[in-house]
């Protein structure tokens, strides 16, 4: 098949702006003819040296997030899958199912603006990207169709998960020491920020019996991203998504100088680029609570907030969690290989989440701490039972329960992540992020609540036992949780 290769297009432009060659932003003679969407790449060493202001990095990240990548950027991965494995040459540049499936991150993350959630039409067929092209079928046997989530407030979510992971690691370490000292298996309960993740048992030889661990991977790394709870950081997600959706391959994932996908370009995204796009997402302001102006609606929303807690919705959709540190720091220490880690930089890049969140759902809690009102517990639950099974609509397991750990560290063989379990959805943007449910196939909040069986059956039944005005009041409360239509803060 005859392919237009980057090097035969507008060669003059490429000499000065080839992908991956770090160039500094600033006035330059305007390029003539076709150009890459990204003209400037960022050097991690200069970020480490503090050479860029927060605004420089945030804006650079937004440019990467909003850019409609093209052939000259390195868009496309003609000979590799979205998982990075080889596939037969001559694959189409775009395939709606197994991707590349979009021109930009913002192509899906657009409601009400860059960084937001998406329409049903922006759904992704998660895991189709690891197959040879799924060209003819959106059958559930091949992939899990998921709706686009917004990442407003994602920085505090990543930090909450990091602090929870540190708590769970400390418990495991303690349990391991006790088991070693006592020479018998020791069991402790796993609790982080007041959320119970079941029990851990450690054997004297250090192996973990994971059978009573609940709602988190056996490696105890709280992974707040993907509705399945499969990804630990915005950085890991960005490295995945750049390759999956756009065929844009980062140096930290695919290696320096390697044209892994054989599209004629290497070094398509630098470490600094991935830092910038991560900072952009992490610093996006958080959703906010906007009370209705009309007295009747306002009273209903206030009453609904109380009812929401009284009938137990708040057990999973936690109205308050406390972050001990208000600093976001990049990169995340729990990143798996293939992503920059703290040892790869001279110093982590930090910023103040209280400032960037700029929201009444992220409040100063004193002593350097902040209160986060995201309405989630960052734990996986199973909302399915014999009568209510809508949320059990997936067939392809997304990874394994041992997470990033060596399977030999456990007493039982590897098990896939359960297809029927999902993280308690963050509700802080629920007021303007329709559609609902992990597949985005529900148009009303009431439908989403209706399908809360299994672990949430008691709370769900309590909701439908309420008089209809009180049900409407809970909905009125949920409608107060929104993403602002236009940017209100520094992030
Ligand atoms: C074709 C649509 C589409 C494109 C393009 C896309 N995303 Fe997403 N994104 C999704 C969907 C769908 C989800 C939810 C996935 C899930 O839950 O399994 C998601 C989830 C995310 C999340 C996790 C949010 C959370 O709270 O769990 C991050 C971070 C993210 N995307 C970043 C990006 C970045 C960065 C890009 C561009 C490199 C990008 N996405 C491009 C559709 C898209
Ligand atoms: C056992 C934990 C649990 C309890 C209790 C619970 N939820 Fe949920 N909720 C979840 C999970 C998990 C999801 C994600 C479901 C999915 O999409 O797979 C969810 C999703 C939702 C959604 C859909 C949001 C969206 O944007 O798609 C709404 C609305 C909601 N819950 C409201 C409620 C209300 C109201 C109550 C109380 C009657 C409640 N929940 C009780 C765990 C829970």
**Per-residue pLDDT reduced to its tens digit, 275-291:** 999 999 999 999 999 99
* Separation of CA 451 and ligand 2 centre (Å): 9
Q: What percent of the chain has pLDDT over 90?
A: 87
* Separation of CA 324 and ligand 2 centre (Å): 26
Q: Are 315 and 459 within 8 A, CB to CB?
A: yes
- Per-residue pLDDT, 16: 38
Q: What percent of the chain has pLDDT over 70?
A: 93
Cα 258 to its chain centre, rounded Å, is 27
Q: Are 269 and 260 within 8 A, CB to CB?
A: no
Q: Are 335 and 232 within 8 A, CB to CB?
A: yes
Q: Are 468 and 475 within 8 A, CB to CB?
A: no
Cβ contacts of residue 297 below 8 Å, gap of 6+?
476
Peptide bond into 100 cis (omega under 30): yes
Q: Is 317 in the pocket of ligand 2 (CB under 6 A)?
A: yes
Residue-wise pLDDT tens digits, 2-12: 566 665 565 44
Q: Is 117 in the pocket of ligand 2 (CB under 6 A)?
A: no
Q: Which ligand is nearest to the CA of 392?
A: 2
Q: Is 430 in the pocket of ligand 2 (CB under 6 A)?
A: yes
Query: Which two three-digit tokens encode residue 23?
Result: 């160039």
Q: What are phi and psi of 18, to 5 degrees?
A: -70, 150
**CA dist., res. 83 & res. 49, Å (int):** 33
Question: How far is the CA of 392 from the CAs of 139, 140, 416, 484, in angstroms?
Answer: 15, 12, 15, 32
Q: Are 216 and 379 within 8 A, CB to CB?
A: yes
- Per-residue pLDDT, 14: 44
Buried (b) or exposed (e) across 242-252, using 16+ Cβ within 10 A? bbbbbbbbbbb
* Separation of CA 363 and ligand 2 centre (Å): 24
Average pLDDT score over residue span 140-144: 91
Ligand 2 atom 34: the closest Cα is on which residue?
313
Residue to probe by mutation, ligand 1, list 117, 124, 229, most atoms within 8 Å of CB: 124
Residue to probe by mutation, ligand 1, list 75, 103, 110, 151, most atoms within 8 Å of CB: 151
**CA dist., res. 49 & res. 411, Å (int):** 45
The closest-lying atom of ligand 1 relative to the alpha carbon of residue 104 is: 5
Q: Is 125 in the pocket of ligand 2 (CB under 6 A)?
A: no
Average pLDDT score over residue span 14-23: 44
The closest-lying atom of ligand 2 relative to the alpha carbon of residue 423 is: 12
Q: Is 429 in the pocket of ligand 2 (CB under 6 A)?
A: no
Nearest to 417 by CA among 145, 222, 215: 215
**CA dist., res. 162 & res. 223, Å (int):** 9
Question: How far is the CA of 78 from the CAs of 8, 86, 263, 382, in angstroms?
Answer: 17, 9, 6, 38
Dihedral Cα 131, 151, 54, 365, nearest 10 deg: -140
Q: Which ligand is nearest to the CA of 479?
A: 2
pLDDT band per the 50, 70, 90 thresholds, residue 90: confident
1 has a pLDDT exceeding 50: no
- Per-residue pLDDT, 153: 98
* Separation of CA 262 and ligand 2 centre (Å): 44
Average pLDDT score over residue span 334-353: 98
**CA dist., res. 317 & res. 460, Å (int):** 13
Q: Which residues' Cβ are closer than 6 Å to ligand 1?
A: 101-102, 105, 107-109, 122-124, 126, 146-149, 151, 225-228, 234, 237-238, 241-242, 245, 277, 281
pLDDT band per the 50, 70, 90 thresholds, residue 18: very low
The closest-lying atom of ligand 2 relative to the alpha carbon of residue 391 is: 18
* Separation of CA 48 and ligand 1 centre (Å): 27
**CA dist., res. 466 & res. 219, Å (int):** 40
* Separation of CA 424 and ligand 2 centre (Å): 6
25 has a pLDDT exceeding 80: no
Average pLDDT score over residue span 10-27: 46
- Per-residue pLDDT, 92: 81
- The CB density around residue 5, as the number of other CB atoms within 10 Å, is 11
- In angstroms, the first-to-last Cα distance of the chain is 45
Ligand 2 atom 11: the closest Cα is on which residue?
424
Average pLDDT score over residue span 86-112: 91
Q: What are phi and psi of 255, to 5 degrees?
A: 100, 150
Buried (b) or exposed (e) across 347-375, using 16+ Cβ within 10 A? eebebebbebbbbebbeebeeeebbbbbb
Q: Are 267 and 43 within 8 A, CB to CB?
A: no
Q: Are 200 and 170 within 8 A, CB to CB?
A: no
Ligand 1 atom 25: the closest Cα is on which residue?
225
Ligand 2 atom 10: the closest Cα is on which residue?
424
**CA dist., res. 31 & res. 13, Å (int):** 6
- Per-residue pLDDT, 13: 46
Q: Is 226 in the pocket of ligand 2 (CB under 6 A)?
A: no
Q: Are 149 and 117 within 8 A, CB to CB?
A: yes
pLDDT band per the 50, 70, 90 thresholds, residue 30: confident
Average pLDDT score over residue span 295-324: 98
Average pLDDT score over residue span 60-81: 96
The closest-lying atom of ligand 2 relative to the alpha carbon of residue 458 is: 5
Residue 48: HSE in the Cβ half-sphere, 13 Å Cα cutoff: 13
Range of 74-88, 134-148, 238-252 with top mean pLDDT: 238-252
Ligand 2 atom 24: the closest Cα is on which residue?
436
**CA dist., res. 453 & res. 386, Å (int):** 9
């Amino acid at each position: 098949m005859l392919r237009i290769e980057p090097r035969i297009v507008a060669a003059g432009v490429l000499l000065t702006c080839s992908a991956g060659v770090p160039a500094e932003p600033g006035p330059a003679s305007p390029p003539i003819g076709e150009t890459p969407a990204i003209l400037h790449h960022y050097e991690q060493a200069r970020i480490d040296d503090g050479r860029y202001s927060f605004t420089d990095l945030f804006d650079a990240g937004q440019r990467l997030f909003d850019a409609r990548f093209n052939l000259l950027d390195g868009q496309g991965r003609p000979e590799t899958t979205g998982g990075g494995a080889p596939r037969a040459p001559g694959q189409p540049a775009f395939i709606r199912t197994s991707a590349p499936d979009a021109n930009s991150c913002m192509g899906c993350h657009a409601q009400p603006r860059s960084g937001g959630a998406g329409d049903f039409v922006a759904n992704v067929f998660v895991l189709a990207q690891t197959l040879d092209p799924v060209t003819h079928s959106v059958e559930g046997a091949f992939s899990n169709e998921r709706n686009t989530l917004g990442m407003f407030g994602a920085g505090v979510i990543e930090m909450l998960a990091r602090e929870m992971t540190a708590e769970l690691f400390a418990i495991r370490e303690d349990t391991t020491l006790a088991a070693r000292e006592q020479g018998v298996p020791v069991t402790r309960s796993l609790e982080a920020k007041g959320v119970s993740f079941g029990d851990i048992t450690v054997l004297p030889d250090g192996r973990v019996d994971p059978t009573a661990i609940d709602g988190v991977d056996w490696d105890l790394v709280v992974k707040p991203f993907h509705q399945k709870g499969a990804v630990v950081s915005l950085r890991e997600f960005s490295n995945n998504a750049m390759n999956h959706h756009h065929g844009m391959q980062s140096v930290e994932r695919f290696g320096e100088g390697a044209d892994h996908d054989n599209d004629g370009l290497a070094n398509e995204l630098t470490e600094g680029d991935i830092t910038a796009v991560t900072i952009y997402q992490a610093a996006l302001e958080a959703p906010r609570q906007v009370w209705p102006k009309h007295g009747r609606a306002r009273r209903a929303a206030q009453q609904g907030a109380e009812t929401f807690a009284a009938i137990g919705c708040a057990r999973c959709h936690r109205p308050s969690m406390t972050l001990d540190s208000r600093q976001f720091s990049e990169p995340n220490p729990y990143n798996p290989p293939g992503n920059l880690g703290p040892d790869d930089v001279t110093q982590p890049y930090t910023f103040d989440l209280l400032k960037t969140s700029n929201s009444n759902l992220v409040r100063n809690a004193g002593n350097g701490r902040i209160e986060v009102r995201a309405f989630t517990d960052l734990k996986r639950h199973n909302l399915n039972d014999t009568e209510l099974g809508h949320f059990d609509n997936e067939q392809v397991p997304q990874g394994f329960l041992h997470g990033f750990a060596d399977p030999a560290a456990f007493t039982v063989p590897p098990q896939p992540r359960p297809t029927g379990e999902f993280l308690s959805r963050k509700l802080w943007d629920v007021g303007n992020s329709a559609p609902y449910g992990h597949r985005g196939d529900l148009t009303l909040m009431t439908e989403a609540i209706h399908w809360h069986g299994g672990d949430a059956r008691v709370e769900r039944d309590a909701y439908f036992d309420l008089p209809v005005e009180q049900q409407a009041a809970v909905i009125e409360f949920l409608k107060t949780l929104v993403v602002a239509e236009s940017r209100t803060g520094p992030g």
